[in-house]
Amino acid sequence: MSTAKETYQNLYENKNDDADVTFLVHGEEIKAHKIIVTDRSEMLKTMINFPVPPEDGRYLITDELIQANDFKEFLKFLYLDECEIDYINIGALLHMSEMYLVPLMKQKCMEFVHTECKTIHGILQCCELAILHEKECPEMIEICLTALSNTRFTSFCYTSRIGKTRVSAELIKRIAKDCPRTSTLNEDDMFMKIFDWGTMECKPPVTPEGMKKVLSEIMKSIKLENLSINNLTKIVHKNGLLPPEKYVQQLIDHINGNRPVGSIDESVLSDGSDTSGRFGFRSRFESQNVQRQYESYY
């Protein structure tokens, strides 16, 4: 006697050749059972119960985002509440979860994302996919960026089945704009990793002009008020990443104390060094350094 799971597995595989619905996905016939698919998907129920059926009895799937293997995995989920999800098919599965009104399919995809987001390689790959499929699943990018903000990593590169890959400029912009800053990934950490990414993205030889071209849009999302004076003067200013008047204003804010120097985001860097003093006050040396930088403009 078969278990319930075995019975549904046999139905999915159509071992008894008793399927009563046929889908035609880009020329490939895929059999299914009406009682299963109409119960799990309101959209398929509407399609199959439409008063005028297809002339040849086959329901045509022509969506370019859906391949035959993707549709088979989708049907497998309708039968068994499980399916194979990977970086290749997750976009199609999310697309079908929206198209055919199967929210549980989306939940299953998010389980995959949570699992993959345990490593930086998985996080960055999922981030790229999340941007592509944000319309179908806006929560995916939030999951990924939250995981990123709590993960220690060295660069915005990841290793996948095709080798080492540098993240896209679109993703870097999104990370700079929306990734939460934490004690694990503060503004200085974020900026330096983005700057390192920029040196790889910049056409050689790397020059301040080239870096400015690569990072100008991204810099709009960097929280300058949370950058250390060291990065502001030695990296941002040296590479011309800020207009002179804006740079001077940042120096003035340092001098006047209009910066959250004692916050977690700036006072504790990833290497454990304290940039603000034990109690959050700017050191005399740092203040003098700011003053000298400011005076150099006049």
pTM of the model: 0.81
Say what percent of the chain tops pLDDT 70. 86
Predicted confidence band at 39 (pLDDT cuts at 50, 70, 90)?
Answer: very high
Confidence of residue 204 (pLDDT cuts 50, 70, 90): very high
Confidence of residue 292 (pLDDT cuts 50, 70, 90): low
Give a yes or no: residue 158 inside a domain: no
How many domains does the chain fold into? Answer: 1
Average pLDDT for 162-186 = 97
* Residue 200, pLDDT above cutoff 80: yes
Question: What pLDDT sits at residue 2?
Answer: 82
Residue 156 lies in a domain: no
Mean pLDDT lowest among 52-66, 74-88, 101-115, 284-298: 284-298
pLDDT at 288: 52
Q: What is the pLDDT of residues 67-123, one digit of tens each?
A: 999 999 999 999 999 999 999 999 999 999 999 999 999 999 999 999 999 999 999
Query: In 3-state terms, what secondary structure has residue 128?
Result: helix
Q: Is the pLDDT of residue 52 over 70?
A: yes
Residue 238: domain span = 223-298
More confident residue, 262 or 198: 198
- Residue pLDDT, tens place only, 233-251: 999 999 999 999 999 999 8
Residue identified by tokens 């700036």 is 266
- Asked whether residue 265 carries a pLDDT value surpassing 50, the answer given is no
**For residues 44-53, average pLDDT:** 93
* pLDDT score of 271 more than 60: no
Query: Which residue has better confidence, 113 or 258?
Result: 113
Helices marked H in the chain? 4-12, 34-40, 42-48, 68-80, 90-99, 103-116, 120-132, 139-149, 169-178, 187-201, 208-219, 229-231, 244-256, 264-267, 284-295
Two tokens, residue 19: 């399927």
In a domain, residue 228? The reply is: yes
Mean pLDDT of 157-162: 92
The yes-or-no verdict on residue 148 having pLDDT over 60 is yes
Per-chain mean pLDDT for the chain: 88
Exposed e or buried b per residue across 252-279, where buried means at least 16 C-beta atoms within 10 angstroms of its C-beta: eebeeeebebebebbbbbeeeeebbeee
